[in-house]
Amino acid sequence: MTQKFASACGIDFGTSNSTAGIVAASGAHLLALEEGKLTLPSAVFFNVEEDTMAFGRAALAEYLEGYEGRLMRSMKSLLGSSLMDAGTEIGGRHLSFKNLIGQLIGEVKRRAEQSASQQFDAVVLGRPVHFVDDDQAADDQAQATLEEIARGLGFKEVSFQFEPIAAAHDYEQRIEKEELVLIVDIGGGTSDFSLVRLSPERRGMADRSSDLLASGGVHIGGTDFDKRLSLSGVMPELGMGSLLSNNAEFPNSVFFQLATWHTINFAYTRKMWRTFQDISPEVVDKIRFERLLNVVRHQAGHHLAMRVEAAKIALSDQLMTELDLAEAEKGLVAQISRGTFENAIAQETRRVCNAALATLSQAGVAPEAVNTLFFTGGSSAVPALRHTLAAAFPSARTVEGDHFGSVGCGLAVVAQQRYG
């Protein structure tokens, strides 16, 4: 007998990974989006050789196999920014970032419908508390862009929920008594917080406005940690910080582009190559300059970025890891310590903790009053962040959510409440 699913779903379009969830008889759960896996990496690869487009793990695989083309990741970070209108050139064609985001979310919708064996005509989309810090007009534009994209994909009903509130709905499904909870959702692009009062008696109520005491956030996430680790541990090996023969510093723009997921492709432009040609006679450190040229020449920036991301993840469990820089120079390896990483992200760590404390200040609640810190989001495992937040909320116990699934399941719960 075929199981009947609701016509509404929740979609968590993430900076690094995306999910789709529904509520069935057994409760809220995620739908398989790629070869039985519940997450779809938010990646698109345009294979110029075969004139095809791949998504998720398949996109990353084609890129790593060496096909000529263009890999796009972390496109969510472009929402609300001036880069949304810029687009990119792929195989001689101009494609807008809005169109690219639409194709990725459309693929999530198509795969979710295939997994559920039915179409969805209503959706609750997750959104960070702030797409853009301190710019309400840009924030509103980011949400409006997402809504326009969703409606263009065939959703007749489109609404939004803050991602940490969605995670709160997921957590509430399994608590046994009332708790004052700070939801800590540290994803690929943002760190978001919601202070909520949860209880078994409240979980079925549609109007929970009185239980949401405050929400806050800051535009810092896992991709920012990747960037800082890359600038600290990798880019100096490619010449960042070196001097030219006239005592001027080597231009930094290319290093920041290569260290930032959604700008890596900007390092491959003709303009950048002209810059290299112009400064080549002035370069003193020829070895590191050649490493940089190798990375740009072979468009290997995403290879390095993936290795940096893997090193970041490894340093959650290890005190030291090796980072292979073969794309820059065969046999080159960087030794990266957890201390190096923590020093690199110290400023971001403080800003995230300050944003959490500011969320409580909105509600006039003391940190000691919080019963539970509920962690979700793929970047919430960074030890420095955990230690800093634990110290700021000394009375709170720590609860682990599904780092990649809590928001998607919570959005499914909200979708059922809103659309039935």
Mean pLDDT of all residues in 9-37: 93
Residue located via tokens 């535009």: 219
**Architecture, CATH, for domain 8-163+408-419:** 2-Layer Sandwich (3.30)
Tokens of 163: 């991602």
Over the stretch 145-200, which tens digit does the pLDDT of each residue have? 999 999 999 999 999 999 999 999 889 988 999 999 999 999 988 999 999 999 99
Topology of the domain covering 177-221+348-400 = Nucleotidyltransferase; domain 5 (3.30.420)
CB of 262 closer than 8 Å to CB of 301: no
Q: How many other CB atoms sit within 10 Å of the CB of residue 246?
A: 8
Q: For position 3, what pLDDT does the model report?
A: 45
Nearest CA to 105 out of 85, 63, 140, 75 is that of: 75
pTM (2 d.p.): 0.84
Number of residues in the chain: 420
Over the stretch 196-211, which tens digit does the pLDDT of each residue have? 999 998 877 767 778 8
Over the stretch 45-88, which tens digit does the pLDDT of each residue have? 999 888 899 999 999 999 988 888 889 998 998 898 887 777 77
Name 89's bridge partners.
Answer: 94
177-221+348-400 shares the fold of 8-163+408-419: yes
Contacts of 181 (CB under 8 A, 6+ apart): 168, 171, 195, 196, 197, 198, 370, 371, 372, 373, 374
- Could you state, in order of their start, the residue ranges of all structural domains in the chain? 8-163+408-419, 177-221+348-400, 223-344
Q: Is the pLDDT of residue 6 over 60?
A: no
